[in-house]
Amino acid sequence: MTLAKRVLVTGGAGFIGSHLCDALLARGHEVLCVDNFYTGSRANLAHLLANPRFELVRHDVTFPLYVEVDQIYNLACPASPIHYQRDPVQTTKTSVHGAINVLGLAKRLGARVLQASTSEVYGDPEVHPQTEDYWGHVNPIGPRSCYDEGKRCAETLFFDYHRQHGLEIKVARIFNTYGPRMHPNDGRVVSNFIVHALRGEPIPIYGNGEQTRSFCYVSDLVSALIALMESPAEVTGPINLGNPREFTIRQLADLVLAHTGSRSAIETRPLPTDDPRQRRPDITLAGTKLGWEPTVPLEEGLDRTIDYFRRLLAEQPSAGG
């Protein structure tokens, strides 16, 4: 039986954060969700507002937060290129100032703190698949750098607080994750393809579509985050969390067309600057340290995600438009 704790989730109104709040409440914890609603949505949490063990606070993590909690999951940061490039200075501040503020809070409370880092710390990788000891191949001054370097700096801060102050830290490097509650207009490849297919609009493929990604369903990712938080103190990470099954972008488009029954055409567009050619996690460490591996195949997860967007678009015909 898990001992009930008071848990802070920053970015808790977002796609992954809201699913994490669900899972923590299901385990008997009290959850304090903090979000500034820049990309998060109250609709993602509507079903939790009546729960007496759930509390929602509007707050920006670039400012200090004074609360009392036992654990902190730091998920606050825009995570899609469309959103994080809209205000790149704020994106960097959210990653860096946000990390400083949650680490300061954790230090004051003696709380364990988990950083939601990203596979983007590897940049356009020259090592494949990516292992945690790979330092990455990142452009520090490109249009994606606000996110890539912001997350890399946040990891630096977490490990410096661990070494300097003995703080109990956990660092998760999250690879492409998808599922219900994704923002319909976030520009991420799964939501983008599904929304275009359901609307009968051309599906945009950037470049030749041969670049690869791996896709982890959100319930698998959340179970990994909780397993990492609950792991022994010496397991700090960074640990790759994702699904190692690799697909080309064109294969994903074909799957979406088949599962939606759409007749949308495929439309090629120029490749964005610094777009990674290949991305697949080596999750050996997650298996040995956490006893975790993903269980939801892409085809099954796509069906669940398509059902979600079908309902969303039926209720809000202009969603994302």
pLDDT in tens, 184-232: 887 789 999 999 999 999 999 988 888 889 999 999 999 999 999 999 9
What mean pLDDT do residues 169-175 have? Answer: 97
In this structure, of 37-41, 44-48, 171-175, the range with the lowest mean pLDDT score is: 37-41
* Number of domains composing the chain: 1
Examine residue 238 and say whether the peptide bond preceding it is cis (omega within 30 degrees of 0): yes
Asked if 44 and 14 touch (Cβ cutoff 8 Å), the reply is: yes
234 belongs to a structural domain: yes
120 belongs to a structural domain: yes
Average pLDDT of every residue of the chain:
93
273 belongs to a structural domain: no
How sure is the predictor about 2, in pLDDT bands with cuts at 50, 70 and 90?
low
147 catalytic per annotation: yes
Beta bridge partners of 56: 33
Question: Distance (Å, rounded) from C-alpha 181 to C-alpha 195?
Answer: 13
In this structure, of 83-97, 165-179, 265-279, the range with the lowest mean pLDDT score is: 265-279
How sure is the predictor about 142, in pLDDT bands with cuts at 50, 70 and 90?
confident
165 belongs to a structural domain: yes
Question: Distance (Å, rounded) from C-alpha 132 to C-alpha 254?
Answer: 31
- The residue segments making up the domain with residue 59 are 6-177+217-243+280-295
What mean pLDDT do residues 43-56 have? Answer: 97
**Number of other residues whose CB lies within 10 A of the CB of residue 40:** 25
Residue 272: pLDDT over 80: no
Asked if 39 and 187 touch (Cβ cutoff 8 Å), the reply is: no
Strands (E), the chain: 6-10, 30-35, 54-58, 71-74, 112-118, 169-174, 177-178, 203-206, 212-214, 216-217, 239-241, 246-248, 266-269
How sure is the predictor about 175, in pLDDT bands with cuts at 50, 70 and 90?
very high
Buried b (16+ CB within 10 A) or exposed e, 106-140: beebebbbbbbbbbbbbbbbeeebbebebebebee
203 belongs to a structural domain: no
Please give the pLDDT value at position 316.
Answer: 74
Residue 3: pLDDT over 90: no
What mean pLDDT do residues 102-126 have? Answer: 95
User: What single DSSP character describes residue 123?
Assistant: B
Please give the pLDDT value at position 39.
Answer: 87
Please give the pLDDT value at position 187.
Answer: 77
Task: Find, among 32, 43, 39, the residue nearest to 77 by Cα.
Answer: 39
Residue 43: pLDDT over 80: yes
The active-site residue out of 147, 161, 178, 217 is: 147
Please give the pLDDT value at position 321.
Answer: 40
Q: Which percentage of the chain shows pLDDT scores above 90?
A: 77
192 belongs to a structural domain: no
Instruction: Name residues whose C-beta falls within 8 Å of residue 71's C-beta, 6 or more positions apart in sequence.
Output: 5, 6, 7, 8, 111, 112, 113, 114, 229
Please give the pLDDT value at position 317.
Answer: 55
Please give the pLDDT value at position 319.
Answer: 45
20 belongs to a structural domain: yes
CATH of the domain at 123: 3.40.50.720
In tens, the pLDDT along 285-317 reads: 999 999 999 999 999 999 999 999 999 999 875
148 belongs to a structural domain: yes
Instruction: Name residues whose C-beta falls within 8 Å of residue 159's C-beta, 6 or more positions apart in sequence.
Output: 169, 171, 236
Please give the pLDDT value at position 1.
Answer: 53
Residue 29 sits at φ, ψ, to 5 deg, of -80, 160
Question: Distance (Å, rounded) from C-alpha 112 to C-alpha 116?
Answer: 13
At 147 the three-state DSSP class reads: helix
Concatenating the DSSP letter of every residue in 201-229 gives PPEEEETTS--EEE-EEHHHHHHHHHHHH
Residue with tokens 């704020």: 90
